[in-house]
């Protein structure tokens, strides 16, 4: 006798809910259509981008692209990155980028390509009350240096690339948990879990008290799967394999 499986138990995923998340979700991308799609969603609280994503999107006029996006999204924080390797030029670019909108955060890499620390520049810009997103951090030593350089009264982000840390075989959770502690509560600085590799990282970030996680659209679009019954998801997968086998016309 064929028996239909319909068991619901502790592994059915019914206890997982987006409504319970405290971590803020930011969309990471550089394609205007995708940025507008995500910005329209109430659960997306901000957006980030970077020169690599912009290049992949075929953007050639940095300023025109940024101003166009800011005209369409004036009410959520958006991070745009400087692209010089010289600190004096970084400073000039940062001052101009910051002037593009009240919701702009200027991304400053933790070092230049010669591994010279950007903390002196970070301190200078933060004292000018420029909102910063200090990016590409991967160590707690870097976090300590940036925390000491930022003006705690000025809104800012510290982006630790937890996904890239995980790519090296190191568990990023203890690092991110300690980074939250180092930032503390008496500040307007927030920690970003950057470069996530899967949707589960959203819950990882939430579990350690991370303030923000920024993810690409392909990860964020999986939000609709949160709370999906695993038995139903299993059946959907079986049906997908079956449909594709039929469509391919396989025979043995």
Handedness of CA 19, 21, 24, 26 (dihedral sign): negative
pLDDT mean over 108-132: 98
Residue-averaged pLDDT of the chain? 94
pLDDT band, residue 93 (cuts 50/70/90): very high
Q: Which helix (H) or strand (E) holds 164?
A: helix 162-167
Place of tokens 């579990």: 207
Question: SS3 of 213, please?
Answer: strand
Q: Per mean pLDDT, which range of 13-17, 98-102, 109-113, 157-161 is the poorest?
A: 13-17
Q: CATH for 18-224?
A: 3.20.20.70
Quote the pTM value. 0.91
Cα 135 vs. chain centroid, distance in angstroms? 11
Q: Which pLDDT belongs to residue 40?
A: 96
Instruction: Confirm if 192 and 157 have CB atoms less than 8 A apart.
Output: yes
Q: Would the pLDDT of 138 be above 80?
A: yes
pLDDT mean over 16-40: 92
Q: Would the pLDDT of 12 be above 90?
A: no
pLDDT band, residue 49 (cuts 50/70/90): very high
pLDDT band, residue 18 (cuts 50/70/90): confident
pLDDT band, residue 80 (cuts 50/70/90): very high
Q: Would the pLDDT of 163 be above 60?
A: yes
Q: Which pLDDT belongs to residue 139?
A: 98
Q: Would the pLDDT of 38 be above 80?
A: yes
% of residues, the chain, pLDDT over 70:
93
Q: Would the pLDDT of 141 be above 60?
A: yes
% of residues, the chain, pLDDT over 90:
92
Q: Would the pLDDT of 107 be above 90?
A: yes
pLDDT band, residue 75 (cuts 50/70/90): very high
Kindly state the tokens that stand for 122.
Answer: 């970070």
Measured CA to CA, the distance from residue 160 to residue 61 in angstroms comes to 28
Q: Which pLDDT belongs to residue 19?
A: 75
Measured CA to CA, the distance from residue 224 to residue 195 in angstroms comes to 20
pLDDT tens for each residue of 164-216:
999 999 999 999 999 999 999 999 999 999 999 999 999 999 999 999 999 99
Question: SS3 of 234, please?
Answer: helix
Question: SS3 of 189, please?
Answer: strand
């Amino acid at each position: 006798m064929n028996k239909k499986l319909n068991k619901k138990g502790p592994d059915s995923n019914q206890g997982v809910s987006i409504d319970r998340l405290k971590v803020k979700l930011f969309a990471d991308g550089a394609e205007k259509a995708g940025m507008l799609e995500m910005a329209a969603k109430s659960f997306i609280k901000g957006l980030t981008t970077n020169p690599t994503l912009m290049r992949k999107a075929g953007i050639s006029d940095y300023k025109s692209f940024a101003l166009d996006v800011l005209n369409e999204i004036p009410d959520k924080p958006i991070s745009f990155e400087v692209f010089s390797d010289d600190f004096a030029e970084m400073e000039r670019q940062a001052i101009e980028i910051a002037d593009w909108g009240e919701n702009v955060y200027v991304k400053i890499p933790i070092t230049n390509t010669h591994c010279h620390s950007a903390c002196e520049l970070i301190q200078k810009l933060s004292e000018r009350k420029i909102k910063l997103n200090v990016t590409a951090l991967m160590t707690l030593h870097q976090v300590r240096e940036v925390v000491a350089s930022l003006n705690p009264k000025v809104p800012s982000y510290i982006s630790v690339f937890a996904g890239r840390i995980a790519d090296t075989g190191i568990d990023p959770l203890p690092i991110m948990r300690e980074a939250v502690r180092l930032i503390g509560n008496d500040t307007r600085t927030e920690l970003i879990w950057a470069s996530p590799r899967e949707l589960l990282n959203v819950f990882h970030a939430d579990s350690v008290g991370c303030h923000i996680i920024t993810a690409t659209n392909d990860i964020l679009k999986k939000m609709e799967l949160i709370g999906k019954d695993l038995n139903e998801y299993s059946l959907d997968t079986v049906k997908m394999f079956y449909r594709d086998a039929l469509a391919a016309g396989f025979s043995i």
